[in-house]
Amino acid sequence: MPQKKFYITTSIAYANAAPHVGHVYEEFIADVIARYKRNNGFDVFFLTGTDEHGTKISRTAESKKQSVQSFVDENAETFRKFYDSMDSSYSSFIRTSDKEAHWPGAKALWEKLSASGDIYKSKYTGLYCVGCEAYVTEKDLVDGKCPHHGVAPEKIEEENYFFKLSKYADAVKAKIESNEIHIIPETRKNEILSLFTEGISDVSFSRPEGQIPWGIPVPGDPSQIMYVWCDALANYISALGYGREDSSLFDTYWPADVHVIGKDILRFHALLWPAMLLSAGLALPREILVHGFITSEGKKMSKSIGNVVDPKEYVEKHGKEALRSFFARDISPFEDSDFTDAKFLESYNANLANGIGNLVSRVLKMTGQYFEGKVVMNQDVEVLLKRKIETVSGVEDTPGVPLNYYINEEILPAYHEHMEKYELTKATDTIWTLIKRLDGYITDYEPYKLVKIDKAKTEAILVNLLYGISVITNMLSPFLPETSEKIKSLLGGQFEENGTPISFSTKELETPLFPRK
């Protein structure tokens, strides 16, 4: 039976500077989802890359006295290397300046829109934000400035090609309302639907070559350059071979199962992109996952304020798994979240050093000390996971349940439900709930004392603990792949086909998984 496919993308990062923490977080979200789907038998294609055209790119390169191509080459490689250093499992890295991989698809899409009668030439007079690479209106501004960049837009008047966005407004709206295009979370769905009440106008789709020399020439009219968003959005299909001779990847993976994007580019992905696809007669993406911004000390990051979080510094100082853990446990996939050094260290110590790291170290040490690292499952010895209930007289233990029942009936269903909904912080809450329950299991039975009285029962307790840790490593693997593999190698577990543990041949840790900071 063929594998079910799953196609996930990030937005492509604008290659005018080094990666910031928002880029890295978005890459992390997509990587976690891609790894989770692979773990569950899906054939996953995970696309990321860099957006390399536009006015801002050419102006920045000029200010640095570099050729535009060498400038984007340098920055694209910086992104690629940093994503690699974070263990991103992307399948392909697309660059919009790539004339072989990207340009054919972008041009083919333009020609489809033109063939549908949806491209026309007209005069444009209005405002353009170079920072956003987007046309804006007065109502988009705050005190006359772009709310994202704090700079007044430029007033332009020129002849451009336009796309008939208004023609597809009703169709796109209906598909969002029906969840044919499922926008997550619901607040972002409501946000994009509110735009339709204001009326949808056609959009300028090109700029004169003299105004923006760095980009893809309009097919049949090299005096015009494709509008950067028309060019950039096409990456989701160009990377799969759309417009090229070999389109087998496109035939296999399109449509996208989920686009992972930031909230500031929602309207391009939920309005413009679906309209372009409808015009071209192509299938629509199934889901758009919209994450918030990462703030620092409650404020938007700014070099002038001095509150910018450099992800590279955190990886160099604390390791990639520590940064991935903070993203997983403390940054919401749906809302704005704050990143401070104090929060990072608090999370590191609580979740890694005192959490998973301490649990694994304790259990491996007891297994090595009491059983020379080898323990075997004994079906005749059952040590229940105790439950605590509140009574009139206080808190009492209940008879409890087998640990494997608790894991299979409560922990794993909750974990998978959260992962399927992209509720990543809630999924890791479930993992750490099990970590705490295993810590409680040790506290309840005190195997370090019990071993002197009942060695068989002590062995059963350690088998249960090692089994619980093995389940934790499986759930943890999309989030902390390196840590998960390291723990698995220390457990030496053998299991039946249904997952029941047979035995463990463990190794003790030579150094802590996560030293306290």
> Is 291 noted as a catalytic residue in this protein?
no
Here the tokens at position 122 are 């007209």
498 contacts: CB under 8 Å, gap ≥ 6: none
Amino acid at 150: G
C-alpha distance from residue 89 to each of 68, 413, 426 (Å): 29, 25, 22
Annotation says 53 is catalytic: no
149 is known as an active-site residue: yes
> Is 462:307 a contact under the CB 8 Å cutoff?
no
Residue among 112, 132, 164, 269 flagged as catalytic: 132
Q: Which of 37, 53, 112, 146 is catalytic?
A: 146
Residue 395 CA, chain-centre distance (Å), reads 41
Nearest to 206 by CA among 264, 124, 265: 124
Phi, psi of 267 (to 5 degrees): -65, -30
Pair 277, 165: CB distance under 8 Å: no
Question: What are the residues whose beta carbons fall under 8 Å from the beta carbon of 356, sequence distance 6 or more?
Answer: 435, 472, 476, 483, 487, 513, 514
Asked if 23 is an active-site residue, the reply is yes
User: How far apart are the C-alpha atoms of 507 and 133, rounded to whole Å?
Assistant: 55
Q: Which residues contact 190 (CB under 8 A, 6 or more apart)?
A: none
Task: Kindly state the helix (H) or strand (E) to which residue 225 belongs, with its residue range.
Answer: strand 221-226
- Whether the Cβ atoms of residue 412 and residue 403 lie closer than 8 Å to each other: no
The yes-or-no answer on residue 132 being catalytic is: yes
Q: Of 64, 81, 145, 149, which one is the catalytic site residue?
A: 149
Both tokens assigned to 289 = 């996952």
- Compute the distance between CA of residue 22 and CA of residue 146 in angstroms, rounded to an integer: 19
Q: Please give the C-alpha separations between residue 204 and each of 110, 121, 130, 225, 268, in angstroms, as whole numbers.
A: 13, 9, 15, 11, 13
Distance CA 97, CA 81 (A): 18
Q: Is 300 a catalytic residue?
A: yes
∠ CA 456-461-467, rounded to 5°: 125
Q: Of 306, 304, 233, which Cα lies nearest the Cα of 275?
A: 233
* CA distances (Å), origin 27, targets 5, 76, 208, 215, 308: 20, 14, 34, 25, 18
Given the residues 23, 37, 53, 56, the one annotated as active site: 23
Annotated active-site residue 230? The verdict is no
Determine the Cα–Cα distance for residues 198 and 217; give it in Å rounded to an integer: 32
| 20, 386, 416, 486: the active-site residue | 20
Distant-in-sequence, close-in-space partners of 202: CB < 8 Å, separation ≥ 6: 162, 163, 164, 165, 166
Is residue 146 part of the annotated active site? The answer reads yes
Q: Calculate the alpha carbon distances from 195 to 135, 167, 169, 268, 271 in Å.
A: 15, 15, 10, 12, 9
The span from the CA of 63 to the CA of 73, in Å, is 16
- From the candidates 37, 56, 129, 173, which is the catalytic residue? 129
Q: Which of 300, 365, 386, 416 does the annotation list as catalytic?
A: 300
Catalytic residues, which ones? 20, 23, 129, 132, 146, 149, 300, 303
